[in-house]
Amino acid sequence: MSTLSFSQAQDAIVAVGRWLDGKGWAPATSGNYSARLDDGSIAVTVSGRHKGRLTRDDVMRVNAEGVSLDGKKPSAETALHLALYRLFPACGAVLHSHSATAVGLSRATPGAGYTFTGHEMLKALPGIATHETSVVLPIVPNSQDMAELDAAITPHLLVPGAIPAYLIRSHGLYGWGQDMAEAERVIEAVEWMIAAELAERSFR
């Protein structure tokens, strides 16, 4: 159960927005971030805000059904965040990045996933203790229909050994964790492995 207050979540989301923007992973007003609160509601970024310039006023609250609790308009993809919180009761934070490399990989990769093998960075993902393994990053087709996206990705997330991340083709990366720090670590590790894979291709 989360012990995060709304005030703490506001500060964490503002900070992560600046971090992701500094990495070049939140261009224009793309991306959305959320955290589960101690009262069961969800703190989430307000729709259409530049993530590198967030203030506390750009973070709002919704209930478990996505209904605004303060009259502000939540990010269009809030439903995808809520689906993860319902699916994984231990999930405490969800991040959605839009790096050029992640989008490029999703566009260049046919099929429903991309396999990472042998990366030391795999050990940054929850539950993985060795580089001598392989994991699949699911890739689902983009859609403006959040229910359609949720239905497409959920079966992949329930596969034994599934990692807490997935790509929406031509769109971006979702990653989550028990708290904001773990969600950041997942996003950074997966983004790094994507960049490393693309760099490897350039040397072939």
pLDDT tens figures, 55-75? 999 999 999 999 999 999 998
Q: Is-above-0.85 flag for pTM? A: yes
Query: How many residues belong to the chain?
Result: 204
Q: Residue 119, annotated ligand binder?
A: no
Q: Residue 96, annotated ligand binder?
A: yes
What is the b/e burial string over 70-101, where b = at least 16 CB atoms within 10 angstroms of the residue's CB?
A: eebebbebbbbbbbbbeeeeebbbbbbbbbeb
Q: What is the pLDDT of residues 158-183, one digit of tens each?
A: 999 999 999 999 999 999 999 999 99
The CATH code of the domain that includes 170 is 3.40.225.10
What is the b/e burial string over 146-184, where b = at least 16 CB atoms within 10 angstroms of the residue's CB?
A: beebbebbeebbeeeeebbbbbbbebbbbbbbbbbebbb
Q: How many domains does the chain have?
A: 1
Q: Mean pLDDT, the chain, as a whole number?
A: 96
More confident residue, 201 or 119: 119
Q: Please report the pLDDT score of residue 155 as a whole number.
A: 97
Is beta strand 93-97 parallel, antiparallel or unpaired with respect to 165-168? Answer: unpaired
SS3 (DSSP) at 171: coil
> What range does the domain containing 151 cover?
6-202
Is residue 113 domain-resident?
Answer: yes
Is residue 1 domain-resident?
Answer: no
